[in-house]
Amino acid sequence: MMDRLCTVRGRQRSADDLRSIYEKYRDSLLILAIALSHDVSVAEDAVHDVFVAFAEHFADFELTGSLKGYLATCVANRVRDLMRRKRSQGISPERSSSASADLAEPSHRLICNEELRLLSSALAKLPHEQREVIVLHVHGQMRFRVIAQSLGISVNTVKGRYRYGIRKLRSILNSEIQE
């Protein structure tokens, strides 16, 4: 419905339309950003930045595919930029706030249960390239071809990262469960 709204209404889009899109995708994009960064503040900043940029260009926006896929790609790119900036400033991931640090807010309660914490912890142990492909494919519901285009790599590379990442993720989860 929202995807069609962006193609049909053209320049007659309203603030209510934008609010509806934000409310529909906010939580899933936040979870995506947390899974990619394993840092709540980076995730919140990325989602905020993407929606601000989207709002600025909303009147002229023309959708050519899935709105969720488009926003997920934007969030993944923004997370990558913020993480790169953090590394260049010498802030290590261990010193930043982790995803489990602030779970009191309602939007963060989604990651509270034990299974999701285990998964989030295991995902954080994967190399960023593998974690990014897995999260975009599983949570972002993006096809390998679309992921390859957004990352500027081949489809075979995406499939390889996914396969090796899933294998490593299984290994990590199996070892954590047996402990």
Q: Which pLDDT does position 155 carry in this prediction?
A: 95
Q: Which pLDDT does position 111 carry in this prediction?
A: 46
Give me the average pLDDT of each 10-residue run along the chain (179 residues): 50 74 89 85 92 86 82 90 83 47 50 64 87 86 87 93 94 78
Cβ pair 2, 70 in contact under 8 A: no
d(CA 55, CA 22): 10
Prediction pTM value:
0.68
d(CA 10, CA 12): 6
Cβ pair 120, 35 in contact under 8 A: yes
